């Protein structure tokens, strides 16, 4: 791979993928909607070309894809727009990759797996989700794998890390950085996965370099599981944070959903905080190599330090 296009380059995983590609000496086109955000992130980075555009504009997307070896699809759109826009977005991305005759690597979540069964979930686990958004993810995977170019899908747990602005943990960290009373989404005693975005970027970029990785889905787990309580303890220790951290419950979000359509769409996904899905990465380790796995204490401290620096 000599040239790559990263769609959604200003988001948490998109940003990390750009950084990982540059570290490997690959020329990158960073594509996102807002030019100012792209320039803020990448204006001083060698090997990065900034392109502000609309992923729903087929002409702009095809133009950006021209000459690329791999497209990384890391675009995130608001939940309230999923039903109307996600399928057309995936079709646009696929058509751009087909036009450029290049490979396509897709950043995906764990929604298509639905509820866990108490064991680690591997790639053979049935994709029979009980949520609307999980069913959309299944549909998007079907669209992708019908493409006439090589496609791979990487399933990740929730993100945290530099510039992961919309992540659940960032919601907590933001208040801590401001030394305000913070809130944590979900039961603080439940242990679940959060992947450090630089680790996720390393894994999907490595996958993209292996021809055998295409035509398949891959699970990319985090560095084990961690409870909210332990996350907060790391935060307290690192920043000497003394204020209490309360819990955001499903009832609270359901109430907010009466007034806010975004909150209304969050409710159905809260099962992941109650009955967590934990990914099995054995296939990746068997076929590709060791999984990047930054310990939570290290990853959380790095994330907090970056947030403090930006504040």
pLDDT tens by residue, 76-92: 998 888 888 999 999 99
How far is the C-alpha of 12 from the C-alpha of 6, rounded, in Å? 12
**Two structure tokens written together for 48:** 């990065």
Judge whether 279 and 221 are in contact, CB under 8 Å: yes
pLDDT score of 259 = 53
* Contact (CB, 8 A) for 208 and 152: yes
CA distances from 2 to 6, 9, 29, 52, 68 (A): 13, 18, 11, 21, 8
- Second CATH level (architecture) for the domain 3-163+194-223+275-293: 3-Layer(aba) Sandwich (3.40)
- Reported as a single tens digit per residue, the pLDDT across 66-80 is 999 999 999 999 888
Mean pLDDT of the 206-214 span: 98
On whether the CB atoms of residues 245 and 61 are closer than 8 A, the answer is: no
Distance in angstroms (rounded) separating the CA atoms of residues 87 and 177: 37
Please, how many CA atoms are within 13 Å of residue 308, restricted to the half-sphere of its CB? Answer: 12
DSSP output for 159-218: EESTT-TTSHHHHHHHHHHTTS-EEEES-TT-EE-EEEHHHHHHHHHHHHT-GGGTTEEE
Residue 56 per-residue DSSP state: T
146: tokens are 């019908």
Residue 259, SS3?
coil
Give the strand pairing for 158-160 and 194-196.
parallel
- pLDDT-derived band at 279, boundaries 50, 70, 90: very high
Provide mean pLDDT across the span 15-30: 97
pLDDT range class, residue 260, cuts 50, 70, 90: low
The kind and range of the H/E element at 264 are helix 261-266
Mind listing the pLDDT tens digit for each residue in 281-294? 999 999 999 999 99
For residue range 263-274, list pLDDT tens digits in order. Answer: 677 777 788 888
Domain ranges of the chain: 3-163+194-223+275-293, 168-189+226-274
- Give the confidence band of 152 by pLDDT, cuts at 50, 70, 90: very high
Q: Where are the beta strands (DSSP E) in the chain?
A: 3-7, 27-32, 48-52, 70-73, 103-108, 151-155, 158-160, 182-185, 191-192, 194-196, 216-219, 226-227, 245-248
Q: Please tell me the pTM assigned to this model.
A: 0.95
pLDDT value of position 257: 54
Q: What is the pLDDT of residues 225-257, one digit of tens each?
A: 999 999 999 999 999 999 999 998 877 777 565
Q: Which two tokens stand for residue 118?
A: 């108490």
> Which range is least confidently modeled, 11-20, 148-157, 253-262?
253-262
Encode pLDDT of 128-150 as tens digits.
999 999 999 999 999 999 999 99
Per residue in 184-204, pLDDT tens?
998 999 999 999 999 999 999
Helix (H) or strand (E) holding 81: none
In the structure encoding, which two tokens stand for residue 244, read together?
A: 């209490």
Angle between helices 132-145 and 82-100 (to 10 degrees): 20
Chain centroid, CA 218 distance in Å: 14
Q: Provide the 3-class DSSP secondary structure of residue 32.
A: strand
Would you say residue 52 has pLDDT above 80? Answer: yes
Q: What is the mean pLDDT of the chain?
A: 93
């Amino acid at each position: 791979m000599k040239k790559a296009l990263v769609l959604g380059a200003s988001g948490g995983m998109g940003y990390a993928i750009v950084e990982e590609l540059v570290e490997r000496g690959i020329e990158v086109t960073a594509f996102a909607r807002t030019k100012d955000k792209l320039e803020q992130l990448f204006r001083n980075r060698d090997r990065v070309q900034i392109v502000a555009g609309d992923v729903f504009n087929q002409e702009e997307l095809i133009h950006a894809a021209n000459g690329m070896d791999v497209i990384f699809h890391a675009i995130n759109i608001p939940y309230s727009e999923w039903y109307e826009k996600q399928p057309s977005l995936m079709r646009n991305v696929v058509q751009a990759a087909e036009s450029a005759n290049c490979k396509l690597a897709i950043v995906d979540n764990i929604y298509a797996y639905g509820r866990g069964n108490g064991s680690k979930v591997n790639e053979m686990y049935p994709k029979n989700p009980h949520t609307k958004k999980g069913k959309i993810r299944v549909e998007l995977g079907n669209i992708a794998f019908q493409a006439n170019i090589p496609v791979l899908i990487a399933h990740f747990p929730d993100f945290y890390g530099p510039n992961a602005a919309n992540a659940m943990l960032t919601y907590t960290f933001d208040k801590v950085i401001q030394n305000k009373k913070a809130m944590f989404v979900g039961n603080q005693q439940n242990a679940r996965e959060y992947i450090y975005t630089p680790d996720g970027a390393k894994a999907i970029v490595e996958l993209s370099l292996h021809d055998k990785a295409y035509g398949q889905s891959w699970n990319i787990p985090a560095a084990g599981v961690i409870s909210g309580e332990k996350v907060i303890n790391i935060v307290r220790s690192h920043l000497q944070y003394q204020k209490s951290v309360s819990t955001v419950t499903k009832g609270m979000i359901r109430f907010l959903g009466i007034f806010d359509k975004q909150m209304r769409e969050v409710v159905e996904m809260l099962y992941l905080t109650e009955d967590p899905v934990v990914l099995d990465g054995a296939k990746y380790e068997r076929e590709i190599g060791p999984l990047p796995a930054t310990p939570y204490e290290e990853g959380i401290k790095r994330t907090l330090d970056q947030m403090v620096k930006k504040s």
